[in-house]
Amino acid sequence: MTDASEVPDFAPAVNGAVEAAIPVVHGMGVRAVEARRGYASSMVPVAGNGNHFGVMYAGVLFTVAEMLGGAIAVASFDGAAFYPLVKDLRIKFTRPATTDVRAEATLDEDTIVRVTREAAEVGKSDFALDATVTDADGVVVAVTTGLYQLRAHRK
């Protein structure tokens, strides 16, 4: 078994990529907290992300969960060979968020292996990713189900 300190954390790479490629997400304050093979978490502050009735704006909640597909892909797949994209994302808002929030998602090893194999063989492969968004007290404020795709870079 690998010690947790030996598992690479790709969060700094994810944050750098988001800042460079998707500045609006960076501007919201969305940050990858942890990104390792099969797991990603992100957070966003409530400050500056409120709406007209004093809770976190729905689009910010969507974004903090949606970006996990890219974060988990960076940590789980070979970025020199593949890139991710989102095909669909459904969100269910369960409670208003009045604090900073954290989103988390996992991808099992069998799916990682399948997606890698399929993308290498046919150029793309779909995978589903469920995320949970919680407030500072651990209360679930939203859940998402996303359909992502891993694509091979064209040669």
**Tens digits of residue pLDDT in 93-106:** 999 999 999 999 99
Q: What percent of the chain has pLDDT over 90?
A: 94
Q: Domains (ranges, CATH) in the chain?
A: 4-152 (3.10.129.10)
* 3-class DSSP string for the chain: CCCHHHCCCCHHHHHHHHHHHCHHHHHHCCEEEEEECCEEEEEECCCCCECCCCCECHHHHHHHHHCHHHHHHHHHCCCCCEEEEEEEEEEEECCCCCCCEEEEEECCHHHHHHHHHHHHHHCEEEEEEEEEEEECCCCEEEEEEEEEEEEECCC
Residues 68-118 pLDDT 10s = 999 999 999 999 999 999 999 999 999 999 999 999 999 999 999 999 999
Categorize the per-residue pLDDT at 61 as very low, low, confident or very high, splitting at 50, 70 and 90: very high
